[in-house]
Each structure stands twice: as structure tokens, then as C-alpha cells.
């Protein structure tokens, strides 16, 4: 699960990671009041930042550093209600409903820091670079040697020699090295205690008066551990999530919306991945990932089918089921029940194998539904391509 920058900064502040003073508002009037208070308190600049669950806001005009109250008000008016399109939002962009108004920092240099789980070595990894800021993707592509990775033993924790290594990679010495050590310990503690799947600070900055401060913050949480963090679960912002994914979540379906036009329904994540590969191999693009799970009930199948079809981009449907625990007759009944209430306007190809396959095929054949049967999943993808062309 993802949270907003202003929320991430509250969590980091709780763990002793330095962040700028700031507050969230949902109105231009609110932004002006917050900015006025900051200027009155002696701030030299105020930054107005779009709060959406995506990075790349700066380049898209969603972050504005303002030197006076008038400009802060204008920036708030510009950004609030605007649809920001960044490399991370997808082409549709995201509507800005919330703003963070925070104190402007005098920046000497910008660095990159993140903590993720390195699945190859089964350890958390801290990734740092002196070349932080808005070009980090470019740095990773063109000069990956500027990025340093330190893997941390989860039992031993972050050791002194690793703190020195991280400080040295970021060129932090003297008083800044001391701050760096505390920063990394606190950031790592946040990652571990909060069951994060990712913590990203880009940029972490050295200020003109030689202090370290986290100017941006992205926290991702492991969904399977959210039951231990009700306070975090409460921060979920459904406005930021795809409505179909939210709907699918209600029925415990593993559904992720994608950009293509082939709706696919598969059981088992591995088979779902392989099916998506096959769809692409024949030159089509999947509209979603959907794993209905091993033991899906008829009701789950019905809901999955309904959700899959309510995506306007779907121009063809591929159902690929290997009946193991999920029996083929249960699947067939689910599809028939769902199709009764829906107007199926797009071609559908079905491949069924496994437990009760004969009953499943019979239920489908007697349903009056219009669909094509495929032998295996390569055949399914090819047949779908053919019928979609027509």
C-alpha cells in the first residue's frame, strides 16, 4: 500500500528522520493560511506540492517553490484541481485533490537514498547516490556506477562499518557524517518496524547551513503486514487507486489493471503470468492481470468476470483455467451466471483443463453463450487474435 508524501513525512518524523515543517490542505484558501503562517514565522520560501501517489511531480509542474505569499496562493490555485501527468501516473494522469504546504529549504546539494527488499539475497538493501534529485532514473540508465548498494543482514542490523560506507558514498564527513549515521539508522528502523516494501528519499539534501533533511518521501507498505499497522491501513486513499482494483479487492481477487485490450481471467499467478506472456507473443496486449485464486467460489468467478468486463478498454476476453482445486464446473457456472446479467459484446475464447472439465464444457455449451473453445493456451491466444481482428 502507498501513502501520500505528507503522511510519509509524519511517519518519518516519528522515527527521528529530519523533514521540513509542513501541513496538508485541500483548498487554496487553506494553502494561503498555511503559507502566511510560515512566512510570518520567518520562512524565506514556501513550497506548494501536489499530493498524488506518483513521483515525477516536479517536472510536471506539481512542485512550486514560492518566495512570497502572493506566489504561494497562485501556485496553490495552479496545482489544485489540475490533472498531473508524470512518467509514473500513466497517460491519464492524476487529479490533484490535496496539497502539501511546507517550508522551503536552501539546498546545497541533492542526494538519493532508498531502502528496498533485495529478493535475490533475501536482505534489505540501502541504495544511495550523490546524483539525486529529479534525474535519478537517467543516472541509473546512463551512469549506474554512481549508485552504491549496501545490503543489510536483517538480524545483525545496520553496522557501523556500513554507516561509514554509506556516508562515504554520499560524501558526508565531519558533522554531516554524524547526522548521516543517525539518518540511516532511523530510516532503516522505519523500514523494518513499519514493514515497508520500499522507503525512498529523493532528494535527501545537504542544506546551505550544513544540515541533512529529507525533502521528498515515498513509503510503500507490505499489504500482508498491514494487519499489524492499523494506523497505516487507515491512511489508505481510495481516490488514488484504480476503481476496478478497489472493487476487485472487496472479493479477494488479485486484479491489476493494465493498458492493453485483452481481458484475461486465469487461476494461479504463475499461469496468469504465462498467459499474459502468450497474449503478448501473439501480438496482443493484456488489459489486466487477474488471478482468481486456487479455490475460487462461483460468486468470486461471477464478480471477477463482471469486473473484467467493466473495463471499457476490453475488446476481447481470454479465459485460461487449469482446474485443480478450482473445479471447471464451478468456473463454468460462474461465467454463465455473470453473463446472464451482462451484455457480452466482445469475443471470448475459453481454454479449460483439469478437474471436472467435461461437466464444465457441457455447462458452457448448453448456456447459449457465444464463445470459442481452445485446445491449449497458445491456441487460445491465437484464436482470440483471429476473432478480435474480425
Catalytic residue numbers? 112, 200
What residues does 13 pair with on adjacent strands? none
- Binding segment toward Mg ion, per CB under 5 A, in 146-154, 212-220, 222-230, 357-365: 212-220
Taking alpha carbons only, the member of 379, 56, 25 closest to residue 200 is 56
72 part of the interface to ligand ADP, by CB under 6 A:
no
Question: Which bin fits 103, alpha (ψ -120 to 50), beta or left (φ > 0)?
Answer: beta
Element (H, E) at 123: strand 123-129
Q: What angle do CA 39, 42, 47 make, to 5 degrees?
A: 50
- Binding segment toward Mg ion, per CB under 5 A, in 27-35, 194-202, 219-227, 292-300: 194-202
Minimum CB distance to ligand ADP, residue 107 (Å): 6
Minimum CB distance to Mg ion, residue 216 (Å): 3
Q: Which of 1, 80, 215, 328 binds ligand ADP (CB under 6 A)?
A: 215
Q: Which is nearer to ligand ADP, 108 or 273 (CB)?
A: 108
- Beta-strand relationship, 262-266 and 316-323: parallel
- Binding segment toward ligand ADP, per CB under 6 A, in 56-64, 89-97, 321-329, 339-347: 56-64
Measured CA to CA, the distance from residue 236 to residue 348 in angstroms comes to 35
By beta-carbon distance, which residue lies closest to ligand ADP? 58
Q: Which is nearer to ligand ADP, 55 or 73 (CB)?
A: 55
- Binding segment toward Mg ion, per CB under 5 A, in 97-105, 211-219, 257-265, 284-292: 211-219
Site for ligand ADP in 12-51 (CB under 6 A): 20, 47, 49
Phi, psi of 158 (to 5 degrees): -75, 120
Spell out the alpha helix ranges (H) of the chain: 5-14, 28-40, 69-79, 136-142, 160-169, 175-193, 230-233, 243-250, 269-281, 298-309, 328-341, 357-366, 377-389
Q: Which is nearer to ligand ADP, 36 or 361 (CB)?
A: 36
Cβ–Cβ under 8 Å, residues 43 and 104: yes
| 259 DSSP 8-state letter | S
What residues does 205 pair with on adjacent strands? 110, 213
Q: Which is nearer to Mg ion, 11 or 381 (CB)?
A: 11
What cell numbers appear for 3 in the block?
Answer: 501513502
Site for ligand ADP in 86-145 (CB under 6 A): 102, 104-105, 107, 110, 133-134
- Count of residues of this chain found to bind ligand ADP when the rule CB under 6 A is applied: 20
Q: Which of 103, 216, 302, 329 binds Mg ion (CB under 5 A)?
A: 216
Q: Which is nearer to Mg ion, 63 or 326 (CB)?
A: 63
User: Which of ligand ADP, Mg ion, none does residue 316 bind to, with CB < 5 to 8 Å depending on kind?
Assistant: none
Residues that bind ligand ADP (CB under 6 A): 20, 47, 49, 55-58, 63, 65, 102, 104-105, 107, 110, 133-134, 202-203, 215-216
Amino acid at each position: 500500500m502507498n501513502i501520500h508524501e505528507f503522511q510519509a513525512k509524519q511517519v518519518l518524523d516519528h522515527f527521528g528522520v529530519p523533514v521540513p515543517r509542513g501541513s496538508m490542505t485541500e483548498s487554496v484558501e487553506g494553502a494561503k493560511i498555511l503559507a502566511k503562517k510560515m512566512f510570518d514565522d520567518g520562512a524565506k520560501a514556501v513550497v506548494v506540492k501536489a499530493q498524488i501517489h506518483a513521483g515525477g511531480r516536479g517536472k510536471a509542474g506539481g512542485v512550486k517553490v514560492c518566495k512570497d505569499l502572493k506566489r504561494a496562493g497562485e501556485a496553490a490555485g495552479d496545482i489544485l484541481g489540475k490533472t498531473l501527468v508524470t512518467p509514473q501516473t500513466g497517460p491519464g494522469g492524476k487529479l490533484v485533490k490535496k496539497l502539501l504546504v511546507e517550508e522551503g529549504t536552501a539546498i546545497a546539494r541533492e542526494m538519493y537514498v532508498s531502502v528496498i527488499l533485495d529478493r535475490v539475497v533475501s536482505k534489505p538493501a540501502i541504495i544511495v547516490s550523490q546524483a539525486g534529485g529529479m534525474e535519478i532514473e537517467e543516472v541509473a540508465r546512463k551512469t549506474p556506477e554512481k549508485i552504491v548498494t549496501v545490503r543489510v543482514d536483517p538480524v545483525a542490523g545496520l553496522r557501523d562499518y556500513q554507516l561509514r560506507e554509506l556516508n562515504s558514498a554520499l560524501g558526508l564527513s565531519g558533522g554531516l557524517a554524524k547526522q548521516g549515521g543517525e539518518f540511516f539508522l532511523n530510516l532503516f528502523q522505519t523500514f523494518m518496524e513499519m514493514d515497508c516494501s520500499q522507503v525512498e528519499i529523493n532528494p535527501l539534501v545537504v542544506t546551505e547551513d550544513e544540515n541533512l533533511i529529507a525533502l521528498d518521501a515515498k513509503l510503500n507498505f507490505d499489504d500482508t503486514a498491514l494487519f499489524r499497522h492499523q494506523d497505516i491501513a487507515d491512511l489508505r486513499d481510495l481516490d488514488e487507486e484504480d476503481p476496478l482494483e478497489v472493487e476487485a479487492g472487496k472479493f479477494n481477487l488479485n486484479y491489476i489493471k493494465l493498458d492493453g485490450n485483452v481481458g484475461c481471467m486465469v487461476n494461479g499467478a504463475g499461469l496468469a503470468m504465462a498467459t499474459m506472456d502468450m497474449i503478448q507473443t501473439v501480438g496482443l496486449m493484456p488489459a489486466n492481470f487477474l488471478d482468481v485464486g486456487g479455490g475460487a467460489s462461483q460468486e468470486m468467478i461471477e464478480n471477477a468476470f463482471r469486473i473484467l468486463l467493466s473495463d471499457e478498454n476490453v475488446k476481447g476476453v481470454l479465459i485460461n483455467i487449469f482446474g485443480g482445486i478450482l473445479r471447471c464446473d464451478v468456473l463454468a457456472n460462474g461465467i454463465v451466471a455473470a453473463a446472464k446479467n451482462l451484455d457480452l459484446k466482445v469475443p471470448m475464447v475459453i481454454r479449460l483443463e483439469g478437474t471436472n472439465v467435461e461437466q464444465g464444457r457441457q455447462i458452457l455449451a448448453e448456456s447459449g453463450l457465444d464463445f470459442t473453445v481452445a485446445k491449449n493456451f497458445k491456441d487460445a491466444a491465437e484464436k482470440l487474435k483471429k476473432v478480435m481482428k474480425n
